[in-house]
Amino acid sequence: MKEFNRADRLGAQMQRELALLLRNARDHRLAGVTVQEVRVTRDLSHAKVYFTLLDPEGAESFQEILARAAGFLRRQLGQVLKVRNVPELHFIYDRSIEEGQRLSALIEQAVAADRKEERDGEA
């Protein structure tokens, strides 16, 4: 069984804490942000925070909002986490859910087309 290294453990803890911080933020728009994953570098100096939104239309503006709030969020994490240095936060919009939905729609279209061809071939 593989053990998690320190960077992975810190990333998981940061994900939980960031989710709580964003849910309880004064800016109500941040409550719609979901933290999907936090990847911390081996030297624990940087963390990529992958997030998704309920409405993907405003992804770029939210990335800017989160980038501006990164210092505040980092300070808040410093009060909660038991680490000497809190990693610098870099927010990245995670498009994997959108891609998954797009691929599912394509598969459904292909299956529907195959069924239609089968029905047309039987008639």
* All structural domains of the chain with their residue ranges: 6-95
The 10s digit of each residue's pLDDT in 13-56 is 999 999 999 888 887 777 788 899 999 999 999 999 999 887 77
Report how far apart, in Å, the C-alpha atoms of 65 and of each of 18, 60, 72 are: 15, 9, 12
Q: Is it the case that residue 116 has pLDDT exceeding 60?
A: yes
pLDDT digit string (tens) for 64-110? 888 988 999 999 999 998 888 999 999 999 887 777 778 888 898 88
pTM, rounded to two decimals:
0.76
Contacts made by residues 18-21, CB under 8 angstroms, sequence distance 24+:
18/49, 18/73, 18/77, 21/73, 21/76, 21/77
Fold held by 6-95: GMP Synthetase; Chain A, domain 3 (3.30.300)
Q: Over pLDDT 90: what percentage of the chain? A: 37
